[in-house]
Amino acid sequence: MKIGVFDSGLGGLFVLRSIQKKLPQYDYVYFGDTARVPYGDRSQAEIYRFTRQGVEYLFTQGCSLVILACNTASTQALRKIQREYLPKRYPNRRVLGVIIPTVEAALARAPKSVGVIATQRTVDSNAYVKKIFKRTEHVRVFQQPAPQLVPLMESDHVLEAKRMVAAYTQALARTQSSVVILGCTHYGMLRSAFRKSLPVKTRLLVQNDVVPAKLKDYLQRHPEISQRLSQRHTVVINLTKVNPHVRQHAWKWFGKHVPLKFVALAK
């Protein structure tokens, strides 16, 4: 069995790159819904349906464990997938999200204040705020939606995205937060722009640094899952639309030999 990584688009590939560096032995299957990205301003029903389709596809490709690298999907679809869909259809498979591991990493050094920058849907869900306050009340939390960043990164307008980072972080920078969570897969690709725009003393929490270690830990704690995983060092990338710049990124991060497959899903 393999490890599946789901994202609404290109951003999760960057997270998969970090996972693969830390745990190179496993076999990975990526699903990026590049034809329907961005998810960030879609309805919950739509995000759930799209996410379930992607997860189902990853299951057909032999994945027993799927990571929703997408924060928006983690906030809008994960719970229903775990509580309703898996028990009925795939009781022996697992789907994990990124919100709780990210919150745990953010709170690890007992910060006084936490900033969260994410898509509009993720911010509106208050998922980060709720999960933080469930663990501690001794912290202030600030949220900032950044609705333009995903569309700009997906259309390869990186310079414009960097300019928008400066604008989106102005209010967050004034909060002087101890830590700022980049709560979207795509934002990791803009790490240096965020670094420049936030105070030096603010710690930047990027999911590329969090998810691989948390996955390693999960696999150690769940031998019933890890023992079923094949170890042939492979990566296969599935996309609902193969854009030239996504292909360039895939080649840059995984080498030109990486199989890039087009997947057609029901509308």
Minimum Å gap between C-beta 33 and ligand DGL is 8
In the sheet with 140-145, reading across from the earlier edge strand, the strands are 140-145, 113-118, 179-183, 203-206
- Of 79-87, 100-108, 182-190, 250-258, which segment contacts ligand DGL by CB under 6 A? 182-190
What is the rounded distance in angstroms from the CA atom of residue 70 to the CA atom of residue 130? Answer: 18
- Of 6-14, 80-88, 123-131, 254-262, which segment contacts ligand DGL by CB under 6 A? 6-14
Nearer to ligand DGL among residue 1 and residue 181 (C-beta): 181
Ordered alpha helix ranges (H), the chain: 11-22, 44-60, 71-76, 78-80, 86-89, 99-107, 120-125, 127-135, 149-154, 158-168, 170-174, 191-197, 207-221, 223-226, 244-254
Minimum Å gap between C-beta 7 and ligand DGL is 5
Which one from 184, 193, 237, 239 is the annotated catalytic residue?
Answer: 184
Q: Characterise 157 by phi-psi region: left (phi > 0), alpha (psi -120 to 50), beta (else).
A: beta
244-254 vs 11-22: helix crossing angle, rounded to 10: 10
Check binding of 68 to ligand DGL (CB under 6 A): no
Nearer to ligand DGL among residue 131 and residue 229 (C-beta): 131
147 in Cβ contact with 41 (< 8 Å): yes
Among 2, 3, 6, 7, binds ligand DGL (CB under 6 A): 7
**Bridge pairing between strands 140-145 and 94-96:** unpaired
With H, G, I as helix, E, B as strand and everything else as coil, classify residue 66: strand
Check binding of 39 to ligand DGL (CB under 6 A): yes
Check binding of 175 to ligand DGL (CB under 6 A): no
DSSP 110: -
Among 38, 145, 188, 212, binds ligand DGL (CB under 6 A): 38
Check binding of 152 to ligand DGL (CB under 6 A): no
Is 63 labeled as catalytic in the residue annotation?
A: no
Is 184 labeled as catalytic in the residue annotation?
A: yes
* Contacts to ligand DGL by CB under 6 A: 7-9, 11, 37-40, 70-72, 119, 122, 150, 184-186
**Which residues are identified as catalytic?**
70, 184
